[in-house]
Structure 1
């Protein structure tokens, strides 16, 4: 499905967009900068996508060694089963097949999780090569170092990804306070998103 002009400029259209939750697993809790805040912001995005009935893809990197997705993310509340992988990119064959078979309308992805300079960045490149619009949520992505995180964001933007924030995505899903789901989305962002230390 070709991108509209608005999508090419960075507009998120809920009916054509999927949320990708990348590798927020138990063993990363103590090593990733701002991990609790990243998970909390990703949970907000998950709630918003459920309100808007958008498809969600969740992955786990080698869960046998790195553990399951943390319960704080909340995927268990919606019956979402993670795809297991060993490559860094989320774009494994099973994910592409799932989207093609169940959500062929999806041509845009909201991306969050870890690590920014590895799995997030490589997922971005794969999606862009396939013609997807990619929206990286800066306050829902992190790495073990802020340097890796910052330069990965810069490289992803240069490659063609749209950089955004959690609240910007959520409010953009409605686009109008008259939208029938706006009040449900508003409740999610009533309190400011947790700070993730991003200053540039």
Structure 2
């Protein structure tokens, strides 16, 4: 595994949207809050020109990405929209699109939202870390059917080098400076969604 620094500031963000599909809506703990957090992050990707990678798990049986997210999953920022049977998002198609740090290419800072925390999110994070990328798992943007699985998975991911953080923290880290040209846009988004963010954190921040 390539050597990575847990202390490094985010420099090359990419958003990974993992299997947020219609058929999971009634089964996943606090599913609507995962969707609202993901919506906030996706709304920030356009002004900040952040690449997006999207997957579904067996779309024919489990349905498409939820309708609330689909308006935010169009345009040039979407680098891949892949249906898969692998649990990890790092399918051969997505893997081929990512830089290769072992060849001197700049690693990505992968910001992961989606489900389930202990299965597809965990395996995606492990595959990205193994390839030398940095991984940020948004605590207010991931969940599982069983709430207890979340805490175990997030603790494990912290142990292996992933950063467990929040959607607001990651947006301000990407900005880095109040003089950023899109500061007003992103702070406006944060203010607009502050109640949804508060509710998501109340339910999902406990690890």
From 36, 44, 49, the equivalent of 1:48 is: 44
Tell me what 1:32 maps to.
28
Residue 98 (structure 1) shift: 2.3
2:107 and 2:134 in contact (8 A); partners too: no
Tell me what 1:9 maps to.
7
2:15 and 2:50 in contact (8 A); partners too: yes
Distance 2:119 2:178 in 1: 37
Unpaired runs of at least 5, structure 2 = none
Residue 106 (structure 1) shift: 4.6
Tell me what 1:195 maps to.
200
Tell me what 2:148 maps to.
147
Tell me what 2:127 maps to.
126
Residue 173 (structure 1) shift: 1.1
Tell me what 2:82 maps to.
83
Q: 2:46 is paired with a residue of what secondary structure?
A: helix
Distance 1:54 1:28 in 2: 26
Matches within 5 A, 1:86-165: 86-100=85-99, 105-165=106-166
1:18 and 1:106 in contact (8 A); partners too: no
Tell me the alpha carbon deviations over residues 18-74 of structure 1, each in whole angstroms, 9 at most, x when there is no partner: 110000000000000111110110111111122110110000000000000002124
Residue 10 (structure 1) shift: 4.5
From 4, 15, 19, the equivalent of 1:19 is: 15
Distance 2:8 2:138 in 1: 12
Distance 1:143 1:77 in 2: 23
Q: How many residues align?
A: 193
Distance 2:174 2:70 in 1: 20
TM-score (norm 1): 0.89
> Residues 170 and 61 of structure 1: is their aligned pair in 2 closer, same or farther, counting only changes over 3 Å?
same
1:59 and 1:83 in contact (8 A); partners too: yes
Distance 1:47 1:147 in 2: 30
> Residues 128 and 86 of structure 1: is their aligned pair in 2 closer, same or farther, counting only changes over 3 Å?
same
Residue 188 (structure 1) shift: 1.2
TM-score (norm 2): 0.86
Q: 1:20 is paired with a residue of what secondary structure?
A: strand
Q: 1:71 is paired with a residue of what secondary structure?
A: coil
